[in-house]
Each structure stands twice: as C-alpha cells, then as structure tokens.
C-alpha cells in the first residue's frame, strides 16, 4: 500500500513530541501515515529545526491579525498540502469551534495527565504536573484524544499511566511523563487513527 495518511504536526516549542513522531515513522511504528508538514505559531520554535533536519516542510503562522486570520492561514496550508490528520504536539494555541468542527475526528492532541484529571483551559506544560503533585495523586500519565471545541474535551483514544515517585517535582515528573507515556502513546495513536483514515478512504 503506497498511499499514506498525510499528517501535519502543529507545534509551539522544542518539538520533543514531534521528534518522537519522526522517530516512530522511521522505525515503522507509524506505517500508515507520513508527516508532510509542520506548522508553528512561534517563529523561533526549535521544532522547526527538527522538521528541516528531517526534510519535512515547515511553516510559521503568527496570530498577528487575530484568531480568524490565524486559523484561515493554517486551513489554507492544510488544504494546499492535502492533509488528512492534524496532530497537536505541544501546540499552545486554542483552536476555535469553527476550526475543530471543520476537521472533526481529524485532530488529535496529547495531554500530560490522565483526562479527566488536571485538564481543560489553563492546564498546560508544567502547570499540569504542579496540579497533580499538589493534589497528591499517586498515579498520573498522558492521554491522546480527539480535539473538539472543549479544551481537552474530545473522545479519548489512548492513555498510559505513570507512577509518581517520592521526591518528584514538576520538572522531573514532566520528563518522566514524556518519556514513559507521551512519546509512547502519541505515535501509537497516530498510527491507529492514520490506519482508520486510510480504511475510510477505500
């Protein structure tokens, strides 16, 4: 089967999750999809370098002229590149209901907790891990879910638990959740959804 699901990855920062996806594609974990485009809303995001280093087209779209203009530019890029699946990998810009409805069941996101815990508006980055530690939970993890108009509110695709250890702070916990959960389940979920999209196209 030569045809693959065409994937765009939306990023804002260092792109460690993007790297996990690139590595998974190279190693054959992702075999039904191909990353063909990376879009960043920050022009200095290191994720753009990762894309270029791996021969992936990289574009920057800034939110200088408001949300509508920002999203219409992203939509134009997605359509021009015939994108089937959008992966949010540390993309720190909330997308509107108009955008998410347009790509229903075609956008996935990885969130660094076991949804429905520590999720929703304002929960991103270290804040998620700080909340988990201050609440005193013994198990956290990561969730890959479809994206809808509710932040972290879409249908769950995959989850993986990570145990909190004595002496953890937000940074050590963030690193372990990435290594043990995010970088494991994001590629697996990406393959699962890519495969389903291909089957639907037949």
Which residues are the active-site residues? 111
* Residue that is written with structure tokens 């956008």 in the block: 107
H/E stretch holding 108: strand 107-111
Closest of 125, 146, 154, 143 to residue 16, by C-alpha:
125
Cross-strand pairs, 40: 11, 60
Coil, helix or strand for 51? Answer: helix
Q: How far apart are the first and last CA of the chain?
A: 11
CB 133: neighbour CB atoms within 10 A? 15
Closest of 67, 76, 64 to residue 97, by C-alpha:
67
Query: Where do the H-state alpha helices sit in 54-182?
Result: 66-80, 97-102, 126-135, 170-177
């Amino acid at each position: 089967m030569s045809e693959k699901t065409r994937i765009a990855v939306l990023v804002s920062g260092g792109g460690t999750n993007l790297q996990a996806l690139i590595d998974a594609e190279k190693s054959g974990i992702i075999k039904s999809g191909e990353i063909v485009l990376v879009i960043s809303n920050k022009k200095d995001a290191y994720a753009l370098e990762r894309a270029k280093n791996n021969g992936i087209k990289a574009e920057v779209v800034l939110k200088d002229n408001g949300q509508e203009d920002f999203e219409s530019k992203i939509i134009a890029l997605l359509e021009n590149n015939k994108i089937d699946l959008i992966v949010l990998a540390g993309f720190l810009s909330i997308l509107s209901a108009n955008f998410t409805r347009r790509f229903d069941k075609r956008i996935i996101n990885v969130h660094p907790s076991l949804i429905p815990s520590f999720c929703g508006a304002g929960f991103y980055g270290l804040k998620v891990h700080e909340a988990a530690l201050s609440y005193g939970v013994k198990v956290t993890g990561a969730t890959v879910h479809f994206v809808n108009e509710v932040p972290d509110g879409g249908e769950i695709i995959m989850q993986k638990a990570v145990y909190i250890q004595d002496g953890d702070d937000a940074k050590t916990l963030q690193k372990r959740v990435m290594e043990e959960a995010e970088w494991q389940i994001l590629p697996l979920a990406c393959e699962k959804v890519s495969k389903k999209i291909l089957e639907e196209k037949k």
